[in-house]
Structure 1
């Protein structure tokens, strides 16, 4: 992604995911992901419509256990019970399966830029966030996730638009100063 593309991105879309990820990191105990019971929807606040809870049902496959209003709008119907892959174009599903397999089995968060495959959609910003939850004995692994976008309302199917970040965000570099000589 170029610096210009970063400037154009919708700050609200990225900011919502930043807040969710910061909340998840605050609940994490060192290298351990937080348990589902620790998640308080009230603390997620305005980002709740783009949040979902995903259950592992097979290798690389996750089913939406809970889905916020925006996830249901993207799906075009009630999204609860659907596989997350239904929000992606067929060509993107193998990459999604790899990410889910990694997220269900590990503890670092995954973040991926997306693009809408809808032809009538203006070029906007979308991003997927996958945050593993600590597994509970006898139950399938779960992920707290979010899909935030600044696209027009309605159903969308997504493809990946660039590199996926796994783990902590890159450290912020200090701002450069202009020195007149």
Structure 2
């Protein structure tokens, strides 16, 4: 095989089936198991891999979700990223990590840029929100979920924790096990 990328047509020719049958076999729709095996063997022989750009154009989806955070070095975000990846990967999606910096304006700019079609959705964990960010999220052409801020009253999908309740449980536990001098350090 040459150094150029194998095409779907080449796979079809190698398998001895039509282009449509090759496509169906590779997508697992409407093809016999014998044909699927033959097409997959031809694809493996040729080193064929689907063209992500072509697929995105055809399906009008990128199979990418952006995860935008202020500081990509923060270990909390790494844990979130791992959990997000575990949910999205089985559905064929990749997670693109983006840094927004510490200003609301940069997050607003990111949300407004979503119309360019580089992702199918955004998960964002802003340090602060304001009316401009809320409005940008409402106008976003793709689904947006905010982590860390409760924005449901403004019609924004969000995931947040009740920090006060969590802190109360932690203090109650420490008192229950006999601690009397309790300090709290917050980032």
Compute the TM-score of the two structures, normalised by the length of structure 1. Answer: 0.21
- Structure (1 or 2) with the greater strand fraction: 1
TM-score, normalising length from structure 2?
A: 0.21
Whose RCO is larger (CA < 8 A, sep 6+)?
1
Greater radius of gyration (CA): 2
- Between Structure 1 and Structure 2, which shows a larger proportion of helix residues? 2
